[in-house]
Amino acid sequence: MQTQGHYVLNLVLLGKTIAPKHNIAITIGAILPDIPIFVFYLISKYMYNMSEAKIWGEAYYQPGWQNIIATSHSIPIALIGFLVCWLLDWKWGAILCVSMVFHCLLDLPVHHDDAHRHFYPFSDYRFYSPVSYWDINHHARIAGGVEAALVLIASPIVMGLLKTPYTKGILIVIDVVYILLYGWMLGINVLNLKSLKTWGLILLALVTPLIIFASTSKEQSLKKFQYYKMTLWNKLSNNKLR
């Protein structure tokens, strides 16, 4: 599942039930498992100048990267984290770990060749689903349509959970991107995209900081804005004095 889809669906599943006031914890838990993949792509693409084919066909399957990605997608590790947070009475951390578990559960049915080891390090078992969310050779047009539909259906509910216009704007962007990506899957190549995975990672790079920044209350967002504005002004003033 696309990372931004995890963000939307986790907010619906958790924000409307056990954690209505913990959007940031849910957001980070929804995104965190995919961060190593994002880092892997940046290193492979811009440090080693690998082609898309080599990145996803060879480098992605190297044992070192696979172990890192398996760790971030491990259900047992997330559950252990939840238990530790629960024993320490740290609700925020516990919700983050639950959100990570939900991320893994949503990934299980939609990964074929790139299936994760969700029970690492206790088992190297991979569930090779016959369905892939991105590979059109494994029903991605159907899976992608279902995923996009779920995100679009969930969006009005998520809109009610978001507190600031920034997060609501980000949600609208996510919905538009889902529509464009699904159109690309169907052959409507509006954006001339070459790789669904690559576009998803680019979107992640653009949206992640905004989501985390804007998933706070309006007052907190304004305080952050004022802080960054004053910091920038001070730096500019110091440069002028020099």
Domain boundaries, the chain: 3-241
Interval 194-208 mean pLDDT: 57
Q: Is pLDDT of 217 > 60? A: no
pTM as predicted:
0.76
What is the average pLDDT score of the chain? 82
Q: Identity (one letter) of the amino acid at 64?
A: G
- The whole-number average pLDDT for the span 150-166 is 86
Choose between 135 and 130: higher pLDDT: 130
pLDDT attached to residue 80: 98
pLDDT of residue 47: 92
- Mean pLDDT, rounded, for 116-142: 91
Q: Lowest-confidence range among 48-52, 84-88, 165-169?
A: 165-169
The residue among 1, 124, 107 whose CA lies nearest residue 66 is 124
Q: What is the pLDDT of residue 144?
A: 85
What does the alpha-carbon distance between residue 64 and residue 146 come to, in Å, rounded to a whole number?
33
DSSP designation for 61: G
Mean pLDDT of 183-192: 62
> Is the confidence at residue 173, as pLDDT, over 90?
no
pLDDT-derived band at 241 (thresholds 50, 70, 90) equals very low
Q: Which residues contact 204 (CB under 8 A, 6 or more apart)?
A: 3, 4, 31, 34, 38
Distance in angstroms (rounded) separating the CA atoms of residues 44 and 59: 8
What average pLDDT does this structure show over 164-172? 82
pLDDT over 70 at 158, yes or no: yes
> Of 161, 159, 158, 155, which Cα lies nearest the Cα of 177?
155
133-137, 156-160, 172-176, 238-242: which range is least confident on average?
A: 238-242
Confidence of residue 242 (pLDDT cuts 50, 70, 90): very low
pLDDT higher than threshold 80 for residue 76: yes
**Comparing 66-80, 84-98, 119-133, 202-216, which segment has the lowest mean pLDDT?**
202-216
Residues 6+ away with beta carbon under 8 Å from 131: 109, 110, 112, 138, 139, 142, 143
